[in-house]
Structure 1
């Protein structure tokens, strides 16, 4: 799937519109090659645990640089430990791990199903709002981005944040050299 997503900085007191979904806590572990080449190529490899389930996701380089929207290939994992052993057996190493707290809702706008997520992460201050649409191909993903942007503006979201949480994590870790965060 092509995840057309725009991330915004949440204004103070922002409330999610739409139909509320269950809140979620994601425990994410990202893997990379020892030399960092996989991540440097714009790809990401993640194990995510949430609500008693684990998913392994490979994100390809962005299909839209302005929003950093990516194609995501994901599958459920029956045994998290075994999957981590497979990844390390293939030569990947843990690059980072963090927790993402999400309050979620769903709505329709201009014929598109949109998922909205109010996000905080355990390594940085501030709150973000993600608005995303799952598209079946690149062209539909690109077509969804202006709709997402207009919907964001309509609900008071004006400050886009085009960087990935993984980039924000690495920036925070690099600034905090006296107390590095273990993976």
Structure 2
């Protein structure tokens, strides 16, 4: 399973970062993600730092659904995790299957994203500007690539750090908090 080498940061100058991304990689793709995270009834899946997610992505030209499983973090500082992902033909059926296997929805929320795909130093990268309405419309940036092995993770993350620095994102603004935790904390008890 490939490792998602990703860093996430709070963006202090959203318009400046978006302008730099547009200049370097074109206008980006505006999409809305509707994410549902599942857990076991006893909470053991997420307690073990693993994730099971069904994401439906609404873009300007299409809607697609993706099933994602993430193992526990292999790098605490970045939160990078091994990830397996596949496109799903029927979102409703996938939700039924996952619930039928005994998983229960833990949390669902929306992310409003602008995605920029590009290549750098022989790697495919994805930079995503993210707003989560429930998080006071703060803007985040995620930059990710893939590492085939744990040994490849450090150089992959080094490249991600270079990209973030070029966009004017300060290392001090990096965060490892999961959106699931932040949204849960923002909701009334």
Q: What TM-score does the superposition give when structure 1 sets the normalisation length?
A: 0.88
Tell me, yes or no, if the aligned pair for 1:133 and 1:141 is still in contact at 8 Å. no
Deviation track 1:109-167 (CA, whole Å, cap 9, x = no partner) reads 44433211110012102100111112233322332112211331232111101111112
Greater helix proportion: 2
Unaligned runs of 5+ in 1: 178-183
Report matched runs for 1:128-167 at 5 Å. 128-158=140-170, 159-167=173-181
Question: 2:109 maps to what in 1?
Answer: 98
Report matched runs for 1:22-41 at 5 Å. 22-41=29-48
Secondary structure of the residue aligned to 2:183 is helix
Tell me, yes or no, if the aligned pair for 1:32 and 1:94 is still in contact at 8 Å. yes
Secondary structure of the residue aligned to 1:54 is strand
Secondary structure of the residue aligned to 1:119 is strand
Shift of 1:108: 4.0
Report matched runs for 1:49-128 at 5 Å. 49-50=56-57, 51-125=62-136, 126-128=138-140
Q: What TM-score does the superposition give when structure 2 sets the normalisation length?
A: 0.85
Tell me, yes or no, if the aligned pair for 1:19 and 1:106 is still in contact at 8 Å. yes
**4+ residue runs of structure 1 moved beyond 6 angstroms?**
none
In structure 2, C-alpha distance between the alignment counterparts of 1:78 and 1:113, rounded to whole Å: 25
Deviation track 1:21-54 (CA, whole Å, cap 9, x = no partner) reads 3211111111001121100100000001114211
Alpha-carbon RMSD across the aligned residues, in angstroms, is 1.6
Number of residue-to-residue matches in the alignment: 175
In structure 2, C-alpha distance between the alignment counterparts of 1:108 and 1:78, rounded to whole Å: 28
Unaligned runs of 5+ in 2: none
Tell me, yes or no, if the aligned pair for 2:36 and 2:105 is still in contact at 8 Å. yes
